[in-house]
Amino acid sequence: MLNDIVVHIPADRPADGIVGCAVSIAKAFGAHLDGIVCTYQPINPAIVVGASAAYYAAANQYNTDNDEAAARLDQFEIAARAAGITHGARSICDTPVLANESLSEISRLYDLSVVPQPDRAKPGHQDPLPESILFNSGKPMLMVPYIHTGPMQLDRMLICWDGGRQAARAVHDAMPFLRRAKTIDVVAVNEDEEDVGQSSTDALLAHLLRHDLAATAHRYTSPPGNIHNTILSLAADLGADMLVMGGYGHSRLREFILGGVTRGIFKSLTLPALISH
């Protein structure tokens, strides 16, 4: 079950969608919800060795305002009180890299982290946070699109299945949501029986049925570079409320390298997605 949830609230953009989503999930599961806002410290030019003035200016243009951060926390607490859920609110302040590392560590002690989708039109220091939490927290995250509005709906789930370890982890982590859903769909793109071996879509359907969860399979073929669009198109056609998927990639020297489909979903997400690594 979900008993302890954290939502990472952006300070530099509207937070109605992610706050509404997180609060509604906590209320649905009777979970405690903590809201965290991060204010990113200005980078001290004295420690940026060899950096140009232009680099320093670019790095600092996305620093957050303390008043905006406080306003987002107030917004969160008002929504949490109105929903009647137990909650906490806090802020942290650090340089971008250290702040996102701290937020990932904090997320290790929650059942679910709710994070905002990066908005390419409005870049900020918080943009690497979803990758950091995905690879470093050891827990599932729910990414909320920046276009999302209103509370989270939990009626129809769409599982993205490729037979891999990450996808299996995501199905396990999503069980609380799957048990509440009225309809479960499974999408497999370019499934190859030899590649998936014993972890085929049919085997997943049988596994879910043993949990008293009936699901419908959808099989598609797609060029590798368009798989994420195939998934999102099906989600729209079905009226899915949430994706369930594995997050692929690896970390290297504080840099996170996403797999192709995961990267495409991060950029083009149109509905909340539970992602596990």
For 227-276, what is each residue's pLDDT tens digit? 999 999 999 999 999 999 998 765 554 444 555 788 888 899 999 999 99
Short-list 22, 230, 252, CA closest to 144: 22
Beta bridge partners of 257: 250
For residue 232, give both structure tokens: 């999102």
For residue 124, give both structure tokens: 């900020």
**Which pLDDT score is estimated for 40?**
82
Which contiguous run of DSSP H or E holds residue 73?
Answer: helix 66-83
Q: Per residue in 116-172, pLDDT tens? A: 999 888 888 888 899 999 999 999 999 999 999 999 999 999 999 999 999 999 999
**Which pLDDT score is estimated for 64?**
64
Are 122 and 49 members of one domain?
yes
Examine the fold and report which residue of 142, 177, 209 is the final residue of a domain before the chain moves on.
Answer: 142
- If pLDDT is split at 50, 70 and 90, which confidence band does 196 have? confident
Q: Does 122 or 58 have the greater pLDDT score?
A: 122
Short-list 94, 98, 82, CA closest to 33: 82
DSSP secondary structure string for all residues of 120-168: TTS--TTTTHHHHHHHHSSS-EEEE-TT--SSPP-SEEEEE--S-HHHH
**Which pLDDT score is estimated for 147?**
95
Examine the fold and report which residue of 92, 115, 142 is the final residue of a domain before the chain moves on.
Answer: 142
**Which pLDDT score is estimated for 57?**
46
Are 134 and 70 members of one domain?
yes
Q: Is 205 a domain residue?
A: yes
pLDDT greater than 80 at residue 42: no
The alpha carbon of 58 is separated from its chain's Cα centroid by a whole number of angstroms, namely: 27
Q: Sheet harboring 87-94: ordered strands across?
A: 87-94, 32-40, 4-9, 112-116, 141-144, 273-276, 242-246, 156-160, 183-189, 216-220
Short-list 219, 220, 244, 232, CA closest to 160: 244
Are 110 and 76 members of one domain?
yes
Helices 66-83 and 16-29, packing angle to 10 deg:
30
- If pLDDT is split at 50, 70 and 90, which confidence band does 175 have? very high
Which contiguous run of DSSP H or E holds residue 258?
Answer: strand 255-258
pTM metric for this prediction: 0.89
Beta carbons of 88 and 77 less than 8 angstroms apart = no
Average pLDDT over residues 6-30: 96
Q: Is 148 a domain residue?
A: no
Examine the fold and report which residue of 88, 112, 142 is the final residue of a domain before the chain moves on.
Answer: 142
pLDDT greater than 70 at residue 43: no
Which residue segment(s) compose the domain that 164 sits in?
154-273
Average pLDDT over residues 197-210: 95
User: Rounded CA gap, 272 and 268, in Å?
Assistant: 11
CATH number assigned to the domain comprising residue 192? 3.40.50.620
Q: Is 264 a domain residue?
A: yes
Are 262 and 236 members of one domain?
yes
Beta carbons of 10 and 18 less than 8 angstroms apart = yes
User: Rounded CA gap, 53 and 57, in Å?
Assistant: 6
